[in-house]
Amino acid sequence: MVNYSSKFLPERARITEPLTDLTSNPELVWTQTPDTSFENMKRLANDHEVIRPINYESGVPIWLITDASNTAYGAWV
């Protein structure tokens, strides 16, 4: 999800750097640094208005935009 929506997440590369470094190490050692990175990334993703889960009780209007043809369809909420 983070990679897919990275253009909406400011400073994603800096925040996830410890996680990226962890994947290049053949011996996976989970320490406080990647754990903090993971928690910060979850917080950033959850707080951003574009990818935040819809709160139906907030009163904020929800727009559903669709497009379709004989070969494909798409939608954006």
CA angle 73, 53, 50 (to 5 degrees): 70
- At 35-70, the pLDDT tens digits run 999 999 888 877 776 666 778 898 888 877 788 788
Instruction: Report if pTM > 0.85.
Output: no
* 71 CA to centre of own chain: 29
DSSP for 18-57 reads HHHHHHT-SS----HHHHHHHHHHHHHHHH-TTTSPP-TT
73: CB partners within 8 A, 6+ apart = 66, 67
- Rounded to the nearest integer, the mean pLDDT of the chain is 81
The pLDDT of residue 1 is 67
Domain residue extents for the chain: 1-55
